[in-house]
Amino acid sequence: MRNSPALITPKYLGAINVTAWLYRDKDGVDRVQVNPNTTIGELLQEFGPAATPDAEVGIHSEGKAAEWFRTRPELRVLQIFSERLPCPMMCGPMLRHYFPGVPWYYYFDRTAWRTGTGRGLVKTAGEVLKSAYQL
């Protein structure tokens, strides 16, 4: 029987989003900065429920990475990889504004996995990531 840790199930793969940013340091060395998101569950456990339901969102991995680079202006971002297409409400506009011209790469775009009617998902993020990572 194969070992199948819970973190690689579609449920958990769908809850976690990792971003990896290729950057060049002041010495011209290319490096990678990796940031996971902070899930709603983690925030609820640490701080309890938000004042209003619409405030119960996780901290996006792209936002955490962008803040890391904001505090290190000597670093030059070359490429951005995120497991999912950055969200259109917060992360997409933030990346376009603060990192113009930096290419994005991703595995999952929920609009590409809709049914023909557009109402449901053919595959969830977790299912697509499980296949992409050959798990």
- Confidence (pLDDT) at 84: 82
Contact (CB, 8 A) for 92 and 86: yes
What is the percentage of the chain residues whose pLDDT exceeds 70? 78
pLDDT tops 90 at residue 94? yes
The structural domains of the chain, ordered by start, are 6-132 (3.40.140)
Least confident of 4-18, 34-48, 86-100: 4-18
Task: Give mean pLDDT, residues 97-126.
Answer: 75
The pTM score is 0.76
pLDDT tops 90 at residue 13? no
User: What is the maximal distance between C-alpha atoms in the chain?
Assistant: 52
